[in-house]
Amino acid sequence: MAQQARPKQGLGPGFWPVTLLLAVITAVCDYYVVITPITNFLPEAATPADQTDELFKFLTFFGVIVFVFTIGYLVYFAIAWRKKKSDSEDALGIQIHGNFQLELWWTILPTILVIAIGWISIKDWAGIFYAQGGQLAVEAIGYQFAWEFRYPGLTDPVQNELHLPLGVPTTIHISSRDVIHGFWTPEVRLKQDAVPGLVTTIHITPTRVGTYRIICSEYCGARHGYMVGKLIIEPKEQFTAFLDHEKYVQAHAPKGPGGLPPGVNLANGNASAGQALFAQKCSACHSLGAFTQRIVGPGLGKIFADPDHPKLVDGAAATPEDAAGIINSGFTGDLGTMPNAKTNGLSNDDIANLVVYLEGVSKGQ
Ligand code: HEC
Ligand SMILES: [Cu+2]
């Protein structure tokens, strides 16, 4: 028997009820898309995060419609027009060629949608890369494996902390000192490559006080996963105070490790405050065991009493004054890098408290 196509038979039994069902599923899903704020999952810390979220919602809204109807009809037609027992072995499906009405609409509607998406995207994109009127300009420079941030009026960069004032339009110049890194701030919905030899400029306006993540999103080497900085958005006064404090610290930083740093008064040290600080800021890298009981840095429990360790790692004598010097200035040696007081967020009083505490521990108090 010659192959015979089935005659046209309409859309199939139950087509309209199925269409109604798909419409209801779409409506319910899109209702939740519209009413659920994305900030339920991730806060918006700065513009353009709000615009990015709007665009995302727009895409999701239409994505739901396309997805539900496409998959819904696919499943429906596969069932409605499946091969019947009475069909011959070589039966053909219904042959349909061209439907002007359908083709017209499935060209026009997506075209309008794509133009709308393009228009919104370009508008948002231009806001990030071509905005004017930045009142503050900072630099974010990636290197293996941390970020450093440079601020107007400061001679030295600040490690791993990007402080920004709330509500102030800010320009960030992003670059890299070695390999390609990625400046990713999920709460600002921005991800920008940091490329050596290239400065990429973006514009944001912080809108929400808080501490957020700055993650390196470009695999840049063995310790890439540790390359996480902080984006600290604070009220203007606090930001100014931060800059003033940094200015002071940088102006008074001693020129090399070793020796009592100016401004640190060991006589005022408080051991129990030092104990709390140690638990919070040092214990990740230092145990209170002997020198050899290393975590990252050496054990500090007998720092002033260990006969195997008459000197500190920087070669200075193991005295409280020199320990204060190393805690203040940091040190990079064979064992790794001891972060300085700025990175550890220590004031002069904190340094005194820590040293007095470590002295007490060395004496077994
Ligand atoms: C990220 C890890 C890290 C943190 C956090 C850290 N240190 Fe260190 N520290 C080190 C390393 C590594 C060394 C050794 C450097 C070398 O010799 O290469 C060191 C060395 C020292 C030394 C000299 C030790 C010696 O025996 O000569 C002192 C004192 C010290 N750290 C105190 C502190 C204090 C106090 C804190 C907390 C405020 C602290 N460190 C936080 C890693 C760290
Ligand atoms: Cu990196």
Confidence of residue 92 (pLDDT cuts 50, 70, 90): confident
Give nearest CA residue, ligand 1 atom 14.
297
Q: Is the CB of 57 under 6 A from ligand 1?
A: no
Question: Do 326 and 257 form a contact (C-beta atoms < 8 A)?
Answer: yes
The two three-digit tokens of residue 253, written as one number? 């930083």
Separation in Å, CA 17 to CA 11, 21, 31:
12, 6, 21
The whole-number pLDDT of residue 7 equals 59
Question: Do 137 and 170 form a contact (C-beta atoms < 8 A)?
Answer: yes
**Distance (Å, whole) CA 173 – CA 226:** 22
The whole-number pLDDT of residue 258 equals 58
The whole-number pLDDT of residue 1 equals 44
**Distance (Å, whole) CA 282 – CA 149:** 23
Helix/strand/coil (H/E/C) assignment for every residue in 30-45: HHHHHHCCHHHCCCCC
Q: Is the CB of 361 under 6 A from ligand 1?
A: no
Asked if pLDDT for residue 330 goes beyond 70, the answer is: yes
Q: Is the CB of 335 under 6 A from ligand 1?
A: yes
Asked if pLDDT for residue 218 goes beyond 80, the answer is: yes
Average pLDDT, integer, range 340-344: 85
The two three-digit tokens of residue 122, written as one number? 């370009």
Counting residues of the chain whose pLDDT is more than 70, the rounded percentage is 95
Give nearest CA residue, ligand 1 atom 43.
338
CA neighbours within 13 Å on the CB side: how many for 140?
33
**Distance (Å, whole) CA 224 – CA 147:** 11
- Statement: 136-252 belongs to CATH 2.60.40.10: no
Residue-averaged pLDDT of the chain: 88
The whole-number pLDDT of residue 335 equals 77
Asked if pLDDT for residue 62 goes beyond 80, the answer is: yes
- Which segment, 81-85, 178-182, 298-302, is predicted with the most confidence on average? 178-182
For 277, other C-beta atoms within 10 Å of its C-beta total: 21
Asked if pLDDT for residue 2 goes beyond 70, the answer is: no
Mutate to test the pocket of ligand 1, among 313, 338, 354 (most ligand atoms within 8 A of CB): 338
Cα diameter, the chain: 107
Average pLDDT, integer, range 16-41: 95
pLDDT tens-place string over residues 64-74 = 999 999 999 99
Average pLDDT, integer, range 26-44: 94
Confidence of residue 145 (pLDDT cuts 50, 70, 90): confident
CA neighbours within 13 Å on the CB side: how many for 294?
8
**Distance (Å, whole) CA 28 – CA 362:** 67
Asked if pLDDT for residue 141 goes beyond 60, the answer is: yes
> What global pTM score does this model have?
0.60
**Least confident stretch, 178-182, 228-232, 238-242, 315-319:** 315-319
Q: Is the CB of 339 under 6 A from ligand 1?
A: yes
**Distance (Å, whole) CA 257 – CA 265:** 17
User: Where along the chain do its domains lie?
Assistant: 15-83+97-130, 136-252, 266-362
For 34, other C-beta atoms within 10 Å of its C-beta total: 10
Asked if pLDDT for residue 242 goes beyond 50, the answer is: yes
Confidence of residue 131 (pLDDT cuts 50, 70, 90): confident
Asked if pLDDT for residue 235 goes beyond 90, the answer is: yes
**Least confident stretch, 7-21, 68-82, 146-160, 190-204:** 7-21
Q: Which CATH superfamily is domain 266-362 in?
A: Cytochrome c-like domain (1.10.760.10)
Q: What residues flank ion ligand 2 with Cβ within 5 A?
A: 181, 216, 220, 227
**Minimal CA–CA distance to 210: which of 240, 182, 231?**
231
